[in-house]
Amino acid sequence: MVEKYIINGGARLEGEVPIIGAKNAVLPILAATVINGTTNVISNVPKLKDVEVMIKILTSLGARVDIEGDTLIIDSSTINRVTLPEELVREMRSSIILMGALLARFGEAVLSYPGGCEIGPRPIDLHLKSLRQMGTEIVESHGFLYCKTDGLKGCEIQLDYPSVGATENIILAATMAEGTTIIRNAAREPEIVDLQDYLNKAGCRVKGAGTSVIVVEGVQKLNSCEHRIIPDRIVAGTFMVAAAITRGEIVLKNVVLEHLQSIIAKLKETGTKVLVDRDEIKVIGPEKLYPIEMLQTLPYPGFPTDMQAQFMALLTIADGTSIVNETVFENRFKHAEELTRMGANIKTLGSVAVIKGIKELTGAKVFAKDLRGGAALVLAGLAAQGVTEVENINHVNRGYENLYVSLNKLGANIISV
Ligand code: EPZ
């Protein structure tokens, strides 16, 4: 059922919001539960569409998954299949990280070539090249990947690009490989550190996550374990922008400050006040927003590509011209044309967008094309004069837990239909 939000703009948002567990940490960790073949208790799991898909994939492989509030109990001892359901892989591209987990435990994996997605072709060449280097035979035919190994071997891998998914896939494949694997030019995202923490609790020997060099020593036996997912830095960043764009005052609870440094720095450039206190952040939107001379998205710890759309929405009403350079994905400006329907003045040319601030956005009917672009349109609707209808809100439900409920608690006026 295609959902939409009807947003009556203009309210200043005020109040407190607790930040949920990180989607991009829980997805690789759920994939990793395949490996130990026993019980895993994962808490602080967000209620998201993408998490539902990953649970469906695990159960389709034969795992038992029980849900108790925000905790998942996964028993992977009963997994007896290595073929991923095609429709689920198409639905969620990040299911590609199950390759490494299935190869680690069973030496085999079959999955359909994950579809590109809304933000670009999103190839998997770095995944395949690295897994082949570790001794996997991968045959690509009729849109399927047939992967087989008679024993993964640890080796030294130099990633051409610090790909988050490729780094995660290699770590999972290396957990029970023969010998040691060294990954250089590894992605440094906090979600990879969370994966390392979970794996080491399960008896793996992974070190260096968070840096560009990760070392994995293959082990023979893994054990059951418990793990609590880190907070979602992109959900936190999205609420920070909600305070800035509505000239409101929002306190975010249970965040990890270290993960938000690049977002805080760029938000301060707009004149937004950010007061930090241990695991809380108070964000106060200014009367007048300053433009950002250059907002460049980069791998962590640079400014996150997953926050680019939300900042573009904010900059449409800054007092001046801002430049955004999206260096991570090839086609992540789809929200720009929807924002122009709300009166924004944005010109995009390749990876660069020039945003000339206007006084006020006006409500319009707009279409979410991807997860973060959809969130950006909701933020724009909060600030716009009049009513905004954001269609295809199902994109937003992939990464936010009932976003309209949390925003209405802060004083927004959103109906979900
Ligand atoms: C992860 O995607 C996140 N998803 C994305 O979040 C995030 O935007 C991205 O990392 C970058 O931070 C999850 O963690 C589930 P990449 P991933 O591999 O792993 C190219 C969200 O909104 N590339 O780091 O797919 C790729 O095309 C989502 O929560 C290759 O060329 O990202 C892209 O241009 C969106 N070949 C760049 O690298 C490869 O083999 C970064 O991709 C792999 C990637």
**pLDDT for res 118:** 67
pLDDT above 90 covers what percent of the chain? Answer: 94
Q: How far apart are CA 284 and CA 114, in angstroms?
A: 41
| Distance from the alpha carbon of residue 164 to the mean position of ligand 1, in angstroms | 6
Q: Using an 8 Å Cβ cutoff, are 65 and 73 in contact?
A: yes
Average pLDDT over residues 82-92: 92
Nearest CA to ligand 1 atom 7: 306
Q: Is 70 exceeded by the pLDDT of residue 291?
A: yes
Distant-in-sequence, close-in-space partners of 350: CB < 8 Å, separation ≥ 6? none
Which two three-digit tokens encode residue 25? 């940490």
Average pLDDT over residues 364-390: 98
Average pLDDT over residues 262-280: 97
Give the tens place of pLDDT for each residue, 32-61.
999 999 999 999 999 999 999 999 999 999
Ligand 1 atom with the smallest distance to the CA of 329 is: 34
**pLDDT for res 116:** 57
Q: To test the ligand 1 pocket, which listed residue (192, 193, 327, 328) has its Cβ within 8 A of the most ligand atoms?
A: 328
Q: Which residue has the tokens 């009513």?
A: 387
| Distance from the alpha carbon of residue 270 to the mean position of ligand 1, in angstroms | 27
Q: Using an 8 Å Cβ cutoff, are 138 and 169 in contact?
A: no
Q: To test the ligand 1 pocket, which listed residue (26, 118, 163, 183) has its Cβ within 8 A of the most ligand atoms?
A: 163
Q: Is 70 exceeded by the pLDDT of residue 276?
A: yes
Q: Is 70 exceeded by the pLDDT of residue 201?
A: yes
| Distance from the alpha carbon of residue 213 to the mean position of ligand 1, in angstroms | 19
| Distance from the alpha carbon of residue 226 to the mean position of ligand 1, in angstroms | 27
pLDDT grade for 93, boundaries at 50, 70 and 90: confident
Catalytic residue numbers read 117
Q: To test the ligand 1 pocket, which listed residue (20, 23, 24) has its Cβ within 8 A of the most ligand atoms?
A: 24
**pLDDT for res 339:** 98
Mean of pLDDT over the chain = 96
Q: Which domains does the chain have, with CATH numbers?
A: 4-19+231-416 (3.65.10.10), 23-228 (3.65.10.10)
Flag whether the pTM goes above 0.85.
yes
| Distance from the alpha carbon of residue 165 to the mean position of ligand 1, in angstroms | 6
Ligand 1 atom with the smallest distance to the CA of 370 is: 22
Q: Using an 8 Å Cβ cutoff, are 338 and 366 in contact?
A: yes
**pLDDT for res 190:** 99
Give the tens place of pLDDT for each residue, 103-115.
999 999 999 988 6
Nearest CA to ligand 1 atom 25: 165
**pLDDT for res 76:** 98
Give the tens place of pLDDT for each residue, 119-176.
766 689 999 999 999 999 999 888 899 999 999 999 999 999 999 999 999 999 999 9
Ligand 1 atom with the smallest distance to the CA of 123 is: 36
